[in-house]
Amino acid sequence: MAYEEALKRSDGEAIREEEGKIILASSPPRLLVSPLLVIVGPTAVGKTAFSLQIAQDYNGEIISADSRQIYRGLDIGAAKATPEEQALAPHHLLDIVPPDEILTLADFQERAYAAIEAIHARQRLPILVGGTGQWVQAVVEGWGVPRVPPDPELRAALEAEAEAIGSTAFHARLAAVDPQAAQKLDPRNVRRVIRALEVYYKTGIPISQHQHKTTPPYHIWQLGLTMPREALYRRIDQRIEHMLEMGLVAEVERLVAAGYGWELPAMSGLGYRQIGQYLRGELSLEEAVARIKKETRRYVRQQYNWFRLDDPRIKWVKVDREPEKEYEEIKNFLDEVMREEAKQEFRNKK
């Protein structure tokens, strides 16, 4: 494979090209670079399908960077890869905590780096796949994330305050002590605003000042998948209808029966919150579904704030046309960057 040809070397042995490919004598084989492929894009754009193809063709393993797919039992509503899909390539950071456990950004970052190193040790390609922009950027940019454990009492007090004064006024509380963090956080994302205030109250230092960056020691290739907004919205609507057909309501009922409360972040996330409102009699099912679709579209706009179409670090590919041609474009991009990285690394070693 192009990946294996481009990313192996031996001590001091010459590199040569043969039919456009990098061929390196290698005994024993070692990675020429420490690669990390990152696949980003909005929800429902098709990241799962393309990442599986890439993992199979490039000897890869998939690392999920999705803040809901970490939870056991949140399968349908989190659009988690099915067991059949997971069998096609090794997956990491799926189903790692129960719904009543909080995984901080620092925890995720640490686990993601550990997974990357383990995959490199197996001479395979780590593929970070995600729609949770903050989690992806924390890994790619090497954020210095504050390791401040959750304080349940403080969080409960902040949650009560947010409920009492409303999300906009509560967001203003953060803006008063950390305007830089407030500028990046949507006022409707109360959970993240609470976390930023929690870090400030526990350390006396704004969370934005904690977040220095140290470039991680990887050759990072970022691939973005996108499509026209209306086409994406249609796909979102179809996905949500499919989730209902697959048993989303029953999934939420099972979680509630298992004792998981509505106040948990896992249970208040997109889709689960609205189905909860339906189960409690606050909305009809039709109203709940309409809200899920509306909030998912809003979430897409937030995702594009993290994954910007004008970001020169990301190779964007439109995926609303013909899948075979789109994948050929992706393969050409990957083959080219791998060849160039291999050549540059060899020159640096001379």
Look at residue 158 in the predicted model and tell me its pLDDT.
Answer: 96
Show Cβ contacts of residue 53 under 8 Å, excluding neighbours closer than 6 positions. 327
Q: Which residues of the chain have pLDDT under 50?
A: 1-31, 346
138 and 167, same domain (yes or no)? no
Is 129 inside any structural domain? yes
181 and 44, same domain (yes or no)? no
Q: How far apart are CA 318 and CA 308, in angstroms?
A: 14
Is 60 inside any structural domain? yes
Count of residues for the chain? 350
pTM reported for the whole predicted model: 0.81
Look at residue 33 in the predicted model and tell me its pLDDT.
Answer: 66
**Among the three residues 210, 240, 259, which one is the final residue of a domain in this structure?**
210
Look at residue 343 in the predicted model and tell me its pLDDT.
Answer: 60
158 and 252, same domain (yes or no)? no
225 and 337, same domain (yes or no)? no
334 and 266, same domain (yes or no)? no
| Helix, strand or coil, per DSSP, at residue 327 | helix
188 and 244, same domain (yes or no)? no
Identify the domain containing residue 241 by its residue range. Answer: 33-145+220-318
Is 215 inside any structural domain? no
276 and 308, same domain (yes or no)? yes
What digits encode the pLDDT tens for the residues 286-337? 999 999 999 999 999 999 999 999 999 999 999 988 989 999 999 999 999 8
309 and 253, same domain (yes or no)? yes
Q: How far apart are CA 70 and CA 130, in angstroms?
A: 12
Is 45 inside any structural domain? yes
156 and 301, same domain (yes or no)? no
What digits encode the pLDDT tens for the residues 50-60? 999 999 999 99
331 and 278, same domain (yes or no)? no
Q: How far apart are CA 278 and CA 272, in angstroms?
A: 10
